[in-house]
Amino acid sequence: MGRPQLLLPLCASVSLLGGLTFGYKLAVISGALLPLQLDFGLSCLEQELLVGSLLLGALLASLVGGVLIDRYGRKQAILGSNAVLLAGSVSLGLAGSLAWLVLGRLVAGFAISLSSMACCIYVAELVGPRQRGVLVSLYEAGITLGILLSYALNYALAGVPGGWRHMFGWAVAPALLQSLSLSCLPAGTTEAAPCRDLIPLQGSEAPKLARPSYSLLDLFRARDNMRGRTVVGLGLVIFQQLTGQPNVLCYASTVFHSVGFRGASSAVLASVGLGAVKVVATLMALGLVDRAGRRALLLAGCALMALSVSGIGLVSLTVPMDSGPGCLAAPNASGPSGLPGDSSLPQRPVTPHPPPTTRQNPGEPGLPASKKIKTLTAPPWPVLGTATPTSPSAPERAALHWAALVCMMVFVSAFSFGFGPVTWLVLSEIYPVEIRGRAFAFCNSFNWATNLLVSLSFLDLIGAIGLSWTFLLYGLTAVLGLGFIYAFVPETKGQSLAEIDQQFQKRRFALSFGPRRRSARIPYTRIEVSAAS
């Protein structure tokens, strides 16, 4: 690079801008969907197709992106994804039909998913162990800022004719800035970089080792404890979704409405207010991830998620609830046709935005189509505070409503300093460099698939056991996740990637049903070398 002193600032900008692009593209549909409905006369099914196409593109990227990242390198994968994002944004900005909108969203989803995986791996490999936690976690901070930025622009452009075209187009700006930062950074670490601070102990006659090669099937084998690493990776991504974090946030506007924020202010506060809470909690994680450690943040976050989501469930048991409508009203038949260049939007009041998506992480998929659509109108979820003969008194109801609001804030905060940033940091650390891209993508595909399963089963689960027991079930899942983290997830703070690799090779929790084979690798240890030598 020529200027080593610029390495950390440039890596920070790559991570932050990558997350900003991801968060913005994930959440921008919340403000663009209503004008698109009016312009194109979209039915409920067409809106679900439009919103879900980004998730489909992201899932496809998680299936094939690992091969691209390992074959062409992390930097080239990020630059390529930014070029694909540019093509998708142009398709969305100039779209004159639903087909072009879906294609643009599909391409954009592929791009942000590929970039999210490559960014975390690239930054983790490029910086030292003392900076790795903060710089990789900056990606999560970028996501939360991107979500807030999308809501701000959605609000500003809500009354502008053809404003949805500008909403989609602005996603290109952070991607271009990220590409500029990447042009000043090296392509990546060399093959020997993971062991540059380690010296072999077998004497000077030890032959030079060839780097091992791995196939995708090795993720399920006992070799180098790859099976144990896969247990950790899959467990983290699956439990972060099974705690119900996409669905709990769908309920945010109802909770805000119940404590007295009526009408449009309810959804605005649910999006902007919770988004601000996410930013603050993520900034806390940045300061603690290399001090308290990854394991401590995961344990604390999961424990608070279990308590808070169970608290919401207990409140809803006390305060009776009713169910609302299941779909949007029919689109305005008299709305414009949505031809290219047609900017004649009917006059309408500003529509509140739905609650923010959660991490989505490289790994944090956005809310599914049905959830995003429903939050644009009257809350489809059960409404707190419905009067019934057995309802508590008014002061008791008010106290319970505020308790639910506090639980919602705690839940959002706990996810944002626990599962949100740390899951993807751990995934970028635990696998050998030769298979890191494919392994990360493999776990990411389960993240998207589990998110889709949890989201699509939400309404059926409510119908079967009720909303209160659904939240209590999420609380139980969080307790199980807490046990999983305690038993299987090691602490990796302050360790080089080579040291983490050795730590996993020595661990005994791998699901091995036969005699454990010793690794063929030469053992390494860190030694101190004086400056005089």
The pLDDT, as a whole number, for residue 430 is 92
Q: What tokens were used for 31?
A: 């403000």
Distances (CA, A) of 195 to 66, 72, 225, 303, 447: 23, 22, 19, 36, 31
Mean pLDDT is highest, among 23-37, 74-88, 160-174, 214-228, for 74-88
CB 369 within 8 A of CB 51: yes
Percent of the chain with pLDDT over 70: 72
Q: How many CB atoms lie within 10 A of CB 126?
A: 24
**CA separation for the pair 529, 533 (Å, rounded):** 7
Give the global pTM: 0.73
Looking at per-residue confidence, does 509 or 35 come out higher?
Answer: 35
Stretch 87-115: mean pLDDT:
93
Percent of the chain with pLDDT over 90: 36
Stretch 382-399: mean pLDDT:
59
The pLDDT, as a whole number, for residue 265 is 54
Least confident of 276-280, 299-303, 351-355: 351-355
Q: List Cβ neighbours of 361 (8 Å cut-off, separation of 6 or more).
A: 22, 116, 140, 143, 420, 423, 424, 447
The pLDDT, as a whole number, for residue 268 is 60
Largest pairwise CA distance in the chain: 85
Q: Using the predicted structure, report yes or no on whether residue 522 has a pLDDT greater than 70.
A: no
Looking at per-residue confidence, does 39 or 346 come out higher?
Answer: 39
Looking at per-residue confidence, does 347 or 78 come out higher?
Answer: 78
Q: Using the predicted structure, report yes or no on whether residue 517 has a pLDDT greater than 70.
A: no
CB 340 within 8 A of CB 94: yes
pLDDT tens digits for 185-210? 988 664 434 444 444 444 444 444 55
The pLDDT, as a whole number, for residue 262 is 62
The pLDDT, as a whole number, for residue 521 is 45
The pLDDT, as a whole number, for residue 320 is 58
Q: What is the dihedral of CA 348, 354, 359, 365, to 10 degrees?
A: -80
Looking at per-residue confidence, does 83 or 360 come out higher?
Answer: 83
Burial of 71 (0-12, 13-18, 19+ CB in 10 A): exposed
The pLDDT, as a whole number, for residue 444 is 92
Least confident of 159-168, 237-246, 296-305, 361-370: 361-370
Place of tokens 């939360």: 144
Looking at per-residue confidence, does 433 or 391 come out higher?
Answer: 433
The pLDDT, as a whole number, for residue 524 is 47
CB 219 within 8 A of CB 226: yes
pLDDT tens digits for 318-354? 875 544 334 433 333 333 333 333 333 333 334 444 4
pLDDT band at 365 (very low <50, low <70, confident <90, very high): very low
In sequence order, what are the beta bridge partners of 200?
Answer: 524
Stretch 45-64: mean pLDDT:
87
Q: Using the predicted structure, report yes or no on whether residue 49 has a pLDDT greater than 90.
A: no
The pLDDT, as a whole number, for residue 99 is 93
Q: Using the predicted structure, report yes or no on whether residue 415 has a pLDDT greater than 80.
A: yes
The pLDDT, as a whole number, for residue 3 is 55
Stretch 475-504: mean pLDDT:
92
Stretch 85-98: mean pLDDT:
92
Q: Using the predicted structure, report yes or no on whether residue 217 has a pLDDT greater than 90.
A: no
Stretch 44-53: mean pLDDT:
84
Average pLDDT over the chain, rounded to whole? 77
pLDDT band at 37 (very low <50, low <70, confident <90, very high): confident
What type of residue sits at position 18? Answer: G
Q: Using the predicted structure, report yes or no on whether residue 443 has a pLDDT greater than 90.
A: yes
